Structure 1
Amino acid sequence: MSNRREFLKKSAMSTTFLGSAVVFESCAKADKATQEPAENTGDKPLVISTWNNIKANDAAWSVLSQDGHALDAVEAGVKIPEADPADRSVGYGGRPDRDGRVTLDACIMNPEGDCGSVVFLENIKHPISVARKVMEDTPHVMLAGEGALKFALESGFKKENLLTEASEKEWKAWLKKAEYKPVINIENHDTIGMLALDKAGDLAGACTTSGAAYKMRGRVGDSPIIGAGLYVDNEVGGAAATGLGEKVIKVVGSYLVVELMRQGNTPTEACRLAIERIKSKNPDYRDFQVGFVAVNKNGEYGGYSLQKGFGFALHNEEGKKYVKADSLFS
């Protein structure tokens, strides 16, 4: 398989979240959380991901703990929920749009600032791996819909039905009233955003989702948009978002968090300031949820959300834990 440089050459020739309460894996439930110091001293390698994605972090950590690269770690990590039919918000088993079609969005970013994304992709279990191939094997950043599917199939990915019996049953029940009203901390969906810092001090990130359940066909949220759902600057840090994507897009949320860290804010402070920005731009701020996680170059990490209930999973040399993030509103 040719890399990006080879692809360009051939083309030319042919055409002339730090919260406060934590739980370790031995008791990985937020309701058993204990108090953690307000600031962490930083550690590497580490992996952080939105919500309680302990298993995803385990997969990423297996790469990092063997001195692997951050990019390989985040891809391996988010592939876990992508393949899990019990995870109803990511990949296989994800809830469909209002037409009963499971459509997937994903993006990935490496330490060099290269990035790849797929949007409105159907019938491919691991959109994150397709996004990586877009980054590495094409001159583009984003492929969509039929074009993304065509590229995936040509790259050796298998076409398969992602709508499980459970998700189809829920969708048919939803059709009886067809009401679209996302619920805080559920939003009829969720996302996994993951950031990794490897032993060499390099950062990478990945984000993948099946998007808002029962959305209008063709809707794309923040998750596959570089700067909104995910952003990594290897000189500063990285950030990832979750929640109601339309609100994140409006402030280019993950990029905002990274820039706030560039100004000297800790990861937690940067996430909080970004949440305050979202609040100031949306009079209906009590009706939706947005959360951010972030890690800086020194290995300091944090998260913050608009409403209570958001948390993130962390794995570093000290072990693995779930962190219940602070929020603007209780």
Structure 2
Amino acid sequence: MSNRRNFIKKAGILSAFLALNPWKAEELISEKSKKIKKPVVLSTWRFGLQANEEAWKVLSKGGRALDAVEKGVRFVEDDPNERSVGYGGRPDRDGKVTLDACIMDEKANVGSVACLENIKNPISVARAVMEKTPHVMLVGNGALQFAISQGFKKENILTPESEKEWKEWLKTSEYKPVVNIENHDTIGMIAIDEKGNLSGACTTSGMAFKMHGRVGDSPIIGAGLFVDNEVGAATATGHGEEVIRTCGSYLVVELMRQGKTPQQACEEAVKRIYKNFVNQNRNVKDTQIGFIALNKYGETGAFCLQKGFNYAVHTQDGNILIDAKNLI
């Protein structure tokens, strides 16, 4: 009898609350009825198609999103023909290939490396930082020493093609990255697995012919990548300095927390970056920024500053390349 009374009392309180808050009632009903699409993996640029296929080998077998994103971006790092990531990446103005990467799992564990030389797979070094050190980020020679201590092979990652381009660049030494030419781009990958857990990875060789020591947004948690397992994940590509100014990927995730869809969140983040250009009276025409996002329900979104950014999405329905909508 007392159990019945308690049930009636709780039901009455809930009914009164929902009567006073009809919008909350609608939200609760909608959240409960929403079906989660999983697994899902998405990544930046055309090379994301192949990267997604590698990640899907993990996700399709019920594997962890963290393992999937590491495997996916490693595939691009290993390819010497992809000239903005890992082995074969274009060098800085001193002829040195310096790599940046970060990784983040569903428990907010993070690892990052920046300005790492002579190691082909910075994403795996970043994961080792996450799992085997008390730190979040290692940089430069310290990151290299750590990588070697963990069994990573030290090797020359400047390919003849990249070296030739650098020597040609030295004739004028004009630093002017070209929008949507992948000499300054990143592979960012985010995924949700069968258990509904999110993870992300981001890796790059950075802008071609940058100043030695320059670090962009890619290895910075909250800028190039952010994951919140209660809400969603986001990653960025393009001119890293602009993403850093807005803590771009964190911003996208927080906008999703406030109720925006992944698409709406990406659009708002790009608009804020554009507003900075307007307020600072800077020319935006030589700049590209792109965001991709994934929420807890497996819904995706993407948006960019200028036309030309594309991204790959892999679900149970297949793996497709999509041209992102743009602001200007």
Instruction: Give TM-score, length-normalised by structure 2.
Output: 0.87
C-alpha deviation, 1:183, in angstroms: 1.2
Contact 1:42 1:301 (8 Å CA) reproduced? no
Instruction: Establish whether residue 102 from structure 1 lines up as the match of residue 97 from structure 2.
Output: yes
Q: Deviations over 1:271-306 (max 9, x none)?
A: 000000000011322330000000000000010000
Where does residue 70 of structure 1 map in the other structure?
A: 65
Where does residue 165 of structure 2 map in the other structure?
A: 170
Structure 2 counterpart of 1:254, from 230, 244, 249 = 249
CA-atom RMSD, angstroms?
1.1
How many residues were matched structurally? 290
Question: What CA distance in whole angstroms lies between the structure 1 residues aligned with 2:73 and 2:172?
Answer: 33
Greater RCO structure (CA 8 Å; 6+ sep): 1
**How do 1:220-231 and structure 2 match up within 5 A?**
220-231=215-226
C-alpha deviation, 1:124, in angstroms: 0.4
**SS of 2:305 mapped into structure 1:** strand
Where does residue 266 of structure 1 map in the other structure?
A: 261
Q: Deviations over 1:37-77 (max 9, x none)?
A: xxx98621010001111111000000000000000000000
Where does residue 161 of structure 1 map in the other structure?
A: 156
Where does residue 309 of structure 2 map in the other structure?
A: 310
Where does residue 82 of structure 1 map in the other structure?
A: 77
- Which segments of structure 1 move beyond 4 Å, counting only runs of 4 or more? none
**SS of 1:206 mapped into structure 2:** strand
The amino acid that maps onto 2:38 is: K
Where does residue 292 of structure 1 map in the other structure?
A: 291
Q: Deviations over 1:157-214 (max 9, x none)?
A: 0000000000000000000000000111126321000001000000000000000000
Mind listing any 5+ residue stretches in structure 2 that lack a counterpart? 1-33
The structure whose residues are more often helix, as a share, is 2
Where does residue 184 of structure 1 map in the other structure?
A: 179
Structure 1 counterpart of 2:43, from 29, 39, 49 = 49
Instruction: Give TM-score, length-normalised by structure 1.
Output: 0.87
The amino acid that maps onto 1:322 is: L
Deviates more, 1:180-189 or 1:91-100: 180-189
Mind listing any 5+ residue stretches in structure 1 that lack a counterpart? 1-39
Question: What CA distance in whole angstroms lies between the structure 2 residues aligned with 1:226 and 1:128?
Answer: 13
Question: What CA distance in whole angstroms lies between the structure 1 residues aligned with 2:57 and 2:321?
Answer: 18
Contact 2:83 2:183 (8 Å CA) reproduced? no
Question: What CA distance in whole angstroms lies between the structure 2 residues aligned with 1:250 and 1:42?
Answer: 33
Where does residue 117 of structure 1 map in the other structure?
A: 112
Instruction: Establish whether residue 282 from structure 1 lines up as the match of residue 277 from structure 2.
Output: yes
Q: Deviations over 1:142-162 (max 9, x none)?
A: 000000000000000000000
Contact 2:86 2:99 (8 Å CA) reproduced? yes
Question: What CA distance in whole angstroms lies between the structure 1 residues aligned with 2:164 and 2:197?
Answer: 43
Question: What CA distance in whole angstroms lies between the structure 2 residues aligned with 1:217 and 1:279?
Answer: 28
Question: What CA distance in whole angstroms lies between the structure 1 residues aligned with 2:173 and 2:70?
Answer: 35
Which structure has the larger Rg over C-alpha atoms? 2
**SS of 1:287 mapped into structure 2:** coil
Question: What CA distance in whole angstroms lies between the structure 1 residues aligned with 2:299 and 2:40?
Answer: 10
Structure 1 counterpart of 2:189, from 188, 194, 197 = 194
Where does residue 29 of structure 1 map in the other structure?
A: none
